[in-house]
Structure 1
Amino acid sequence: MPDLLIELFSEEIPARMQASARENLKKLVTDGLVEAGLTYEGAGAFSTPRRLVLTLTGLTGQSRPVREERKGPRTDAPAAALEGFLRSTGLTLEQLEKRADKKAEVYFAVIEKPGRQAAEIVAEVLERTIRNFPWPKSMRWGAGNLKWVRPLHSIICLLGDEGGAHVVPMTIDGIEAGNTTGGHRFMAPARFPVSSFDDYAAKLRRAYVMLDSAEREAHIWNDAQNQAFARGWELVPDAGLLTEVAGLVEWPVVLMGAIGAEFLHLPPEVLQTSMREHQKFFSVKNPKTGRIEGFVTVANRETADGGATILKGNLKVLSARLSDARFFWENDLRVAKAGMGEWEEGLQAVTFHNKLGSQSDRIARMDALVNDVAPFMPGLNIDAAKVAAKLAKLDLRSAMVGEFPELQGLMGMYYALEAGEPESVAAAAREHYQPLGPTDVTPKALVSVAVALADKLDLLSGFWVIGEKPTGSKDPFALRRAALGVSRLLIENGLRAPLLRLFSAAAQLHVNHGSAASWEGVPADLLAFFHDRLKVFLRDQGIRHDVIDACLAMPGNDDLTLLVKRAEALQAFLGTEDGTNLLQGFKRANNILSQAEAKDGVEYAFGAEVKFAETDEERALFAALDAGAAAIKPAMAAEDFAGAMAAMAKLRAPIDAFFTAVQINTDNQIVRRNRLNLLHSIRALVGQVADLTKVEG
């Protein structure tokens, strides 16, 4: 069985596109081959800045013959129907077969397709893959029509087995497939032939190319760690940067340098961000001082001087970049120490949204919303929270955040401390953006939580008031993330806040601002949006969707902390034998009751009377329901859901015994009505805890 080697050799592919490109190459080619009738044993995809590579082992030499039968029109069908069938099959009338089919005679087409050689199929599939490759961005060059991410120079398409290897004949826009490739652009640019994947990989390594991106990442990380350790430093982990840098080099050479002493006073995040964003440098920390004091750069070649010239050039550029950062920092400190009034005035001219006013307007609304969330946050220092709300976004006008927007909030913390604000206020500037996603940390400090809630409530209510909600996959203002953020802030801090009231307060502020004439319908619609986001989040936490629905159907579902507490207790209860059996008994009772109410056109909601009970099991159920009501009501009042469900569990045996001993639809209409009312008592009592009609099973 032959093996297949494909290499698409081009100018440098952007690092951010390489991982998806190699996976797309693998999927498109293997799917195409399988669809055409070939099979394979294994596949591997690789990428470097200048090449995408696919290797397949155990490829079948040819596709199997195919015999297909198609049923056509009746033999007495109109001529147009017969002509259409002939066109679809590619056969003539003489090649069709007549067969009896029930009461008529119909035409059948027998289409036989012989097996095809693997080379022919590979050429077809690869050409289709190249011409339709899903690059995020692509380009044309020269006089051809081919589009690729960067100019494509050569193609290897090689089939090999025990008898040798041969090139699959194919030409795309003047590029003829062959068996040669090039090595490292600078260290071994000459082209050379290859005969198999093993031969290809070995020769590439001798030509200073590490084919496997995972190997390049490991080499960079290990070498950088060793060099840092030798100096008594520590490499700052950065998985994203590591992947990116591994996509920039074919032969990584790790070089380490020291940051100039004149820059060491800068905040570590400033140093790290500047080096990462501008020069793709890793940061190196001195554990004795806790400062970022060094950097790692990765060259794409070995040099006679051991990289000294490269390192010297990088240090020169780095010093210029850090000089800019130092200027921004020192200029911002001047404004911060003066109280940041300059930035506060500047935000009046910064539009947040053309329908929602300026950033200054937004700060005023956040300040007001702190008053609304404060009653639900016992222990909150409301004065500190209001100061924090006014300062949290002032760093948006700072020079540093203007250069590095990703530092917003963090720089606000530094500047607030320089302005003499307490740590709780400064921390809120950094933390009020959190959580930024389902795995991000959630603030715990009350001042930070209050400002974070105000920020997100203002954002959500504003866009709901002006009617700009997320649609499909489009969510340009990250409103889904904001809703999940509010939910996590409340749940993870155990806060009991009625969202409908907070939505109303936040929406009213936008109406007062003139964003809309009314906020009618906004709170209810926003709550439904929150419930949808919460369901996704809780499902990821392992809570069943039907359990969530059973709790959402209960009163007070705008108190998310209460809602989650109820859902967790219900899921735990349903996971027990008592819970499973009680659910079955409840569903049976509810089904019989619902059918009787639909048939009779009445609601059996009147109190059942024990005097009409005819059996001991019936009387035992009355007693159990009375005892259950006596236990469940105070448990629910105390929000002791586990206690309420423990009381519900005691209903299991009496309900089972009742259904075993009693016929509901008896001929005695008085007894029948009383038993149906008794079933209603079961539904009503259990319904105080959760709507079990929503639970599956």
Structure 2
Amino acid sequence: MSQLLLEIFSEEIPARMQPGAARDLERMASDRLKAAGLTWDALTTYAGPRRLTLVIDGLPAATPDRNEELKGPKTSAPAQALEGFLRKTGLTQDQLVERDGIWFAEISSKGRATTEVVAESVDDIIRHFPWPKSMRWGTGTLRWVRPIKRILALFDGAVIPFEVDGIPSGDVTEGHRFMGAGQPFAVKDFADYRQKLERNFVLLDAADRKLRILEGAKAVCAARGLALVDDDGLLDEVSGLAEWPTPILGGMAPQFLGLPPEVVQLSMKVHQKYFAVRQPGKEGLAPHFVVVANVEATDGGAALAAGNAKVLSARLSDAEFFWTEDQKVGFDAWNAKLKDVTFHAKLGTLAERVDRIAALAREIAPLVGADPAQAEQAARVSKADLASGMVGEFPELQGIMGGYYARLAGQPDAVADAIRDHYKPQGPGDTVPTAPVTVAVAMAEK
């Protein structure tokens, strides 16, 4: 039994597309090889910033010989039916077998070399790969998420010869774009491939990249007496941006800690892909961030940290502007704007929806032990922050910002909490509201 190693090496693959690409490669390869009659012991795919990799262990050298029997028309059927069956099978009438008044075709076919099957399968996979977005380049007709540079294809250590749209297969790949040897190198098998990639500053497995990010980020934080704010979604994304991820601790102006922590953290995450940092034992964030670089800087990352701090400062200055300006506007003006926002063509405006939610919240309130007046009050301003500048910039903060603005406006805590939490639960992993006023508004909203 032999090993198949395939790598499709290209320009940078968007991080959000990598997990799906690994699954699609596994599915498409499995389907095509199974259809050819091949079996194997283990199949694994990997996706990274510049490569999709497939390794299959335990493949036979050839597909098995096939013997199949096809049932044809009755011997009494019209001649046209028999002629069609003969065309389908490629046989002549004297090669058919008659049993119980029915024609049968017995077809035997020799197995095909696995390398031949793989070459055809890879060509088909590349040409029909379901990228959410793809592009053409040069003068070719091939489409891929980004231009393909190389195709590595080895079976039992030998190159499987083929080409796809002028791109030949081979035994050569490349390491890190900026570090390492700086030259393409040949590999013999998967173990050699993985070892040489790591030697050239490429971690093939996304799980290894995540572990390096997490351990490195926690280490640079701990060295300054800080702690990393965990963010699994950001970790997944950043692991697809760097082949040799190197966390670096940066600092920001303490003045920005006057913003709600959700604003600071979301600005870091959405715009810059930074991790937020906190001080152990204290609420809120610390005036620091962790950026994941794709190089090991000779200065320990000082220049990278300073440059990223400037970019973050500009982003947070924008957020600070929205925070300040929103406080000058208020709920009445925002609610007035909702009259011009269509909720649904057949259900009226967002303001009309708010009226319905408020009426329902007042009715539900006594049933859940809430004050009807407070429930209605919270419902009437629950959607107001949708018209605010901050939520316009960060839609993910709807409800959260409304809660902050309500407290600044002197609204009761029960009302502010209801505005903040009335969208919950937003999935099976989310918390369920328990405060009576929040429960009333959340149920009415849904």
Structure number with higher relative contact order (C-alpha < 8 Å, ≥ 6 residues apart): 2
What is the rounded CA distance, in whole Å, between the counterparts of 1:433 and 1:233 in structure 2?
A: 32
CA-CA distance at 1:84 after TM superposition: 0.8
What is the rounded CA distance, in whole Å, between the counterparts of 1:171 and 1:298 in structure 2?
A: 37
CA-CA distance at 1:326 after TM superposition: 0.9
Q: Please state whether the residue corresponding to 1:25 is helix, strand or coil.
A: helix
What is the rounded CA distance, in whole Å, between the counterparts of 1:374 and 1:220 in structure 2?
A: 47
CA-CA distance at 1:375 after TM superposition: 4.3
What is the rounded CA distance, in whole Å, between the counterparts of 2:362 and 2:301 in structure 1?
A: 60
CA-CA distance at 1:125 after TM superposition: 1.3
Which residue of structure 1 lines up, in the alignment, with residue 361 of structure 2? Answer: 370
Which residue of structure 1 lines up, in the alignment, with residue 406 of structure 2? Answer: 416
- Which consecutive segments of 4 or more residues in structure 1 shift more than 6 A? none
Encode CA deviations 1:226-270: one digit per residue, 9 max, x unaligned. 111222211111111001000000011110112211111111101
Encode CA deviations 1:494-515: one digit per residue, 9 max, x unaligned. xxxxxxxxxxxxxxxxxxxxxx
Written as runs of structure 1 = structure 2, the 5 A alignment for 1:569-580 is none
Which residue of structure 1 lines up, in the alignment, with residue 327 of structure 2? Answer: 333
Verify: 1:169 aligned to 2:165, yes or no.
Answer: no
Give the AA of the match of 2:179: M
Which residue of structure 2 lines up, in the alignment, with residue 357 of structure 1? Answer: 348
Which residue of structure 2 lines up, in the alignment, with residue 155 of structure 1? Answer: 151
Q: Please state whether the residue corresponding to 1:150 is helix, strand or coil.
A: coil
Moved more, 225-234 or 248-257: 225-234
What is the rounded CA distance, in whole Å, between the counterparts of 1:344 and 1:31 in structure 2?
A: 55
Instruction: Provide the identity percentage.
Output: 51
Q: Please state whether the residue corresponding to 2:222 is helix, strand or coil.
A: helix
Written as runs of structure 1 = structure 2, the 5 A alignment for 1:399-410 is 399-410=389-400
What is the rounded CA distance, in whole Å, between the counterparts of 1:248 and 1:14 in structure 2?
A: 8
Encode CA deviations 1:592-611: one digit per residue, 9 max, x unaligned. xxxxxxxxxxxxxxxxxxxx
Residue of 304, 308, 322 corresponding to 1:310: 304
Looking at secondary structure, tell me which structure has more strand per residue.
2
* Largest Rg, 1 or 2: 1
CA-CA distance at 1:76 after TM superposition: 4.2
Q: Please state whether the residue corresponding to 1:292 is helix, strand or coil.
A: coil
Which residue of structure 2 lines up, in the alignment, with residue 346 of structure 1? Answer: 337
What is the rounded CA distance, in whole Å, between the counterparts of 2:99 and 2:123 in structure 1?
A: 45
What is the rounded CA distance, in whole Å, between the counterparts of 1:232 and 1:396 in structure 2?
A: 38
Query: Structure 2 vs 1, CA of residues 347 and 77 (structure 1 numbering), >3 Å: closer, same or farther?
Result: closer
What is the rounded CA distance, in whole Å, between the counterparts of 2:415 and 2:363 in structure 1?
A: 18
Q: Gapped runs of 5+ residues in structure 2?
A: none
Which residue of structure 1 lines up, in the alignment, with residue 426 of structure 2? Answer: 436
Q: Please state whether the residue corresponding to 1:290 is helix, strand or coil.
A: coil
Which residue of structure 2 lines up, in the alignment, with residue 201 of structure 1? Answer: 194
What is the rounded CA distance, in whole Å, between the counterparts of 2:284 and 2:111 in structure 1?
A: 68
Written as runs of structure 1 = structure 2, the 5 A alignment for 1:358-507 is 358-377=349-368, 379-456=369-446
Verify: 1:225 aligned to 2:248, yes or no.
Answer: no
Residue of 183, 195, 200 corresponding to 2:175: 183
Which residue of structure 2 lines up, in the alignment, with residue 268 of structure 1? Answer: 261
Which residue of structure 1 lines up, in the alignment, with residue 52 of structure 2? Answer: 52
What is the rounded CA distance, in whole Å, between the counterparts of 1:100 and 1:295 in structure 2?
A: 79
Give the AA of the match of 1:265: G
What is the rounded CA distance, in whole Å, between the counterparts of 2:237 and 2:76 in structure 1?
A: 68
What is the rounded CA distance, in whole Å, between the counterparts of 1:266 and 1:443 in structure 2?
A: 25
Verify: 1:235 aligned to 2:249, yes or no.
Answer: no
Encode CA deviations 1:351-400: one digit per residue, 9 max, x unaligned. 322332222222222222233223433x3211111211112111112111
CA-CA distance at 1:341 after TM superposition: 2.3
Aligned-pair Cα RMSD in Å: 1.5
Written as runs of structure 1 = structure 2, the 5 A alignment for 1:518-667 is none
CA-CA distance at 1:288 after TM superposition: 4.2
Q: Gapped runs of 5+ residues in structure 1?
A: 457-697
Verify: 1:128 aligned to 2:161, yes or no.
Answer: no
Give the AA of the match of 1:306: G
What is the rounded CA distance, in whole Å, between the counterparts of 2:75 and 2:394 in structure 1?
A: 76
CA contact (8 A) 2:39 2:60 kept: yes
Encode CA deviations 1:655-686: one digit per residue, 9 max, x unaligned. xxxxxxxxxxxxxxxxxxxxxxxxxxxxxxxx
- How many residues align? The count is 444
Q: Please state whether the residue corresponding to 1:120 is helix, strand or coil.
A: helix
Verify: 1:298 aligned to 2:292, yes or no.
Answer: yes
Give the AA of the match of 1:303: A
Query: Structure 2 vs 1, CA of residues 343 and 209 (structure 1 numbering), >3 Å: closer, same or farther?
Result: same
Q: Please state whether the residue corresponding to 1:224 is helix, strand or coil.
A: helix
Verify: 1:108 aligned to 2:100, yes or no.
Answer: no
Verify: 1:94 aligned to 2:94, yes or no.
Answer: yes
CA contact (8 A) 2:362 2:373 kept: no
What is the rounded CA distance, in whole Å, between the counterparts of 1:77 and 1:388 in structure 2?
A: 79
Encode CA deviations 1:254-312: one digit per residue, 9 max, x unaligned. 10112211111111101000000000001111124422122110001122222222111
What is the rounded CA distance, in whole Å, between the counterparts of 1:366 and 1:34 in structure 2?
A: 55
Residue of 314, 324, 340 corresponding to 2:318: 324
What is the rounded CA distance, in whole Å, between the counterparts of 1:291 and 1:453 in structure 2?
A: 30
Looking at secondary structure, tell me which structure has more helix per residue.
1
Give the AA of the match of 2:393: E
How does the TM-score come out when normalised to structure 1? Answer: 0.62
Encode CA deviations 1:167-187: one digit per residue, 9 max, x unaligned. 111111001111111111122
